[in-house]
Amino acid sequence: MRVTQLNVTQKNVTQLNETHDPALQSWVSSANFAGTDFPIQNLPFAVFRRSGSNEAFRGGVAIGDAVLDLAAVHAKGIFTGPAGLAVQAAAAENLNAFMALGPAVWSALRLALSRALRAGAKEEHALQDCLLPMAAVEYTVPANIGDYTDFYTSIYHATNIGKLFRPDNPLLPNYKWIPIGYHGRASSIGISGQHFRRPLGQIMPPGAEKPVLALSKRLDIELELGIFIGAGNALGESIPIAEAESHVFGICLLNDWSARDIQGWEYQPLGPFLAKNFATTISPWIVTLEALAPYRTAFTRPAEDPQPLPYLDSEANRAAGAFDIQLQVGLQTPRMREEKQSEHVFCRTSYRHAYWTIAQMLTHHTVNGCNLRPGDLFGSGTLSGPTLEQAGALIEITAGGKNPMPLPNGEQRTFLEDGDTVVIRGWCEKPGAARIGFGDCTGTVMPGKVV
**Residues carrying an active site annotation:** 157
Q: Which residues pair with 406 in a beta bridge?
A: 412
Closest by CA position to 230, among listed 105, 329, 334: 105
Does residue 117 sit in helix, strand or coil? Answer: helix
Residues 220, 355 contacting (CB under 8 angstroms): no
Count CB-CB contacts under 10 A for residue 417: 15
State how far the Cα of 320 lies from the Cα of 15, in Å rounded to an integer: 11
Residue 447 identity (one-letter amino acid) = P
Count CB-CB contacts under 10 A for residue 218: 21
Count CB-CB contacts under 10 A for residue 209: 6
Residues 83, 112 contacting (CB under 8 angstroms): yes
Per-position DSSP letters for 207-270, written without gaps between them: T-SS-EEEE-S-EE--EEEEEEE-S---TT----GGGGGGGEEEEEEEE--EEHHHHHHH-TTT
State how far the Cα of 45 lies from the Cα of 47, in Å rounded to an integer: 7
Count CB-CB contacts under 10 A for residue 410: 7
